[in-house]
Amino acid sequence: MKITSIIANKNKIRLKLDAPLAPGAEAWVVAFSPICQEELTPLAMLTPEISDDTVTVDRYACDRDGLCFSYALMIDEEIVDGVQYVTDIEESDRTFPYPEVDTKKGLQVVDYADAKELGVRHSAINVNEGDFLMPAYDEGNTIEFEHDGRTFYFRKSHVEKMDETFVGLSEIGCVITFILLNSPRWKCDIDPDFWEIIKHPAYTGKAEDGTGLISAFNLVTEEGLAYYRAFIAFLVDRYTREDMAHGRVVGMIVGNEVDAGYMWCNSGEMCMEWYMREYATALRVTWQTAADIYANMRVYISIDHFWTASADDNQPLRYYKTRDMLVYLNEIATAEGQIPWHIAHHPYPEDLNFPDFWNDKAATPDDDAPIITFKNLEVLARFIYRPDMLYRGERRRIILSEQGFNSHWTPESEVLQACAYGRAYRKVMEIPEIDSFILHAHHDNAFEFGLNLGLWRRKKEGPGMEAPKPMYYVFKAIDQKDERGVYHWERY
């Protein structure tokens, strides 16, 4: 006998079996917290209702929401094999379909009017847990939010400022995806004691070498889990309203470039297997909490351009090989309960200083390529086509949520930058599972490691932009046909 799925509705948790229970069998359901721990401690042993091949318990049997709990079924004192986490959610509050748009063209938008003129339809926006949440009520600057029997406090000034961003993007027709971060210092000052609660307990802090820029989420303690779930629930509740009063967001990327964990999703030094076990928990909790409110919220793992290599193969406890991570994530999900996770990829050129990705030496065409850039993007496509990687017979989706092409202050380099964008877009159009190509960046940024990735050239001296670069005009025309009916990207 085996548990094949676990289904949640607003009041019940149902464990589906591959065969009916024998008459007279004694059955119990043991509930466990989803926090990552080496030895599971039971929260409760529940007496279920039994009907044929279904075992049912109350969702709130432990005086808190059991949506994200793991469950074990005992029959006659033996543990039944199969999945342990909720795999299906019924009765979501909102069920509108994931939006369809007529282009993959995306941008990290700075100027809404310009983005509208350019025909942008996809964007990804950073949201930081500690910017939104506060540890206590702040008179005149608090939005109270009830979740799982508790009141949580959200920073009103920051929330309303973010509302303006999401409304602006929604009004120009953008499909918006959150990039969920946990940084000690992003847009707001975070209370140091509160940071100790929400940061990963093994977070090393920002170092002189640039590592530790962002912490992994704390799903290791019960309090960290409670705040994280409230963060997700608040975002989904506010930004999937039918009236779109605060804008609409339909995707969530959990962390940033988690294969370079020590830098961008830091939980100290950790073997890949345990790191991914913790990350799988974050991914699953995000989807379960979000889908309970909006059924079609897409949840993504964030990866950089490394594949069978890592950012530093000499430090395997800090940097991980992406393919190994994805395979292991899928193994965890298959064993414990598959969910619809997807991939947010960053196929930057091999050397970020040079945009001519077609010359990338490590981006080989075989499945064991060290890196995946636009040159060999089909390697990632072949990976998600593997039968073992399918989700209920369907291929997982891909978004290219951050990548750009550098220029060097010369007309020749700016033309090369424009050519790189056009050729990259052509590769993207050849892979139907890629939903969006979100260019970084709209404007050159003087503080971005010396790179000039924008559509607009910045002034060498002082703030502000000087003029649009050639890539601007390629970007604008990319999904338009000329008088011969040929798309601009087809020329590259």
Relative to beta strand 175-181, strand 251-254 is parallel
Q: Which one-letter amino acid corresponds to residue 379? A: V
pLDDT at 487: 63
Please classify residue 146 by burial: count the beta carbons closer than 10 Å to its beta carbon, then call 0-12 exposed, 13-18 middle and 19+ buried: exposed
pLDDT at 36: 85
pLDDT in tens, 66-78: 999 999 999 988 8
Q: Which two tokens stand for residue 95?
A: 């069920």
Nearest alpha carbon to residue 16 among 47, 48, 46: 48
CB 248 within 8 A of CB 102: no
How far is 175 from 436, CA to CA, in rounded Å?
9
Q: Which two tokens stand for residue 146?
A: 């009830």
pLDDT at 489: 57
CB 325 within 8 A of CB 308: no
Residues 6+ apart with CB under 8 A from 139: none
How far is 239 from 163, CA to CA, in rounded Å?
9
| Phi-psi category of residue 174: left, alpha or beta, with phi > 0 → left and psi -120 to 50 → alpha | beta
Tokens 């282009």 belong to 103
How far is 180 from 231, CA to CA, in rounded Å?
10
Relative to beta strand 27-32, strand 70-75 is antiparallel
Q: Which two tokens stand for residue 370?
A: 């060290």
pLDDT at 490: 61
Tokens 């193969």 belong to 313
How far is 284 from 179, CA to CA, in rounded Å?
16
3-state helix, strand, coil in the chain (%, to 5): 30, 25, 45
pLDDT at 113: 94
Q: Which one-letter amino acid corresponds to residue 330? A: N
How far is 287 from 299, CA to CA, in rounded Å?
6
pLDDT at 486: 65
How far is 413 from 86, CA to CA, in rounded Å?
51
Q: Is the pTM for the entire model greater than 0.85? A: yes
How far is 237 from 469, CA to CA, in rounded Å?
39
pLDDT profile of the chain (492 residues), mean per 10: 96 96 89 87 92 95 95 92 96 96 95 95 97 96 97 98 96 97 93 97 90 95 97 98 97 98 96 97 98 98 98 97 98 97 98 98 98 98 97 97 97 98 96 97 93 96 94 92 65 56
How far is 290 from 70, CA to CA, in rounded Å?
17
How far is 216 from 224, CA to CA, in rounded Å?
11
pLDDT at 25: 85
Q: Which two tokens stand for residue 236?
A: 């989904």
pLDDT at 482: 67
pLDDT at 307: 98
**180, β-bridge pairs:** 127, 254
| 3-state secondary structure (DSSP) of residue 354 | coil
DSSP string, 220-268: SSHHHHHHHHHHHHHHHHHHT-TT-BTB---EEEESS-GGGHHHHSB-S
pLDDT at 139: 95
